[in-house]
């Protein structure tokens, strides 16, 4: 197993257990959908309905993304992409756009696909979140391989 594949597997574990390391702990050729860096995903407070929903969605998207990275690792080079999207109250993700990065690169393609597939499993907003965000919310997630 090469270094990138091992790193992708470690990232899956850190996504599942919420222990994404700091930039200082990472070496080259690692994958990441978040860290303590300024471009990490922004979450609402975990004690809120929005924070819980975002966390659930983040884990779903991260698991889809990590699987795609593992399946296509040889075709993906180092890179970074930011995907912006809108989450509707029914849980569907729309308006998926590549905000940063080359849309033609494999990293951008699989990241965009992972965001779209994440919505299929997330489910709709709770009643409390529907009251708080009746029109849904915009969000963005960075994805990196380095």
Q: Give pLDDT tens digits along the chain (146 positions).
A: 444 443 444 344 334 333 333 232 333 334 444 444 555 667 777 788 999 999 999 999 999 999 999 999 888 888 999 999 999 999 999 999 999 999 999 999 999 999 999 877 788 999 999 999 999 999 999 999 98
**Residue 78 has what DSSP assignment?**
S
pTM: 0.72
The residue count for the chain: 146
What span, in angstroms and rounded, lies between the C-alpha atoms of 145 and 11?
11
């Amino acid at each position: 197993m090469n270094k990138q594949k091992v790193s992708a597997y470690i990232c899956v574990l850190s996504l599942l257990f919420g222990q994404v390391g700091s930039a200082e702990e990472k070496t080259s050729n690692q994958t990441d959908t978040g860290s303590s860096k300024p471009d990490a995903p922004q979450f609402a407070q975990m004690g809120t309905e929005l924070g819980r929903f975002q966390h659930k969605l983040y884990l779903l998207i991260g698991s889809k993304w990590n699987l795609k990275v593992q399946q296509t690792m040889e075709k993906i080079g180092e890179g970074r992409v930011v995907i912006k999207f809108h989450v509707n109250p029914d849980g569907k993700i729309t308006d998926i756009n590549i905000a940063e990065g080359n849309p033609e690169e494999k990293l951008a393609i699989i990241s965009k696909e992972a965001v779209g597939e994440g919505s299929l499993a997330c489910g709709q907003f709770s009643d409390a979140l529907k009251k708080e965000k009746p029109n849904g919310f915009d969000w963005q997630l960075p994805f990196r391989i380095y």
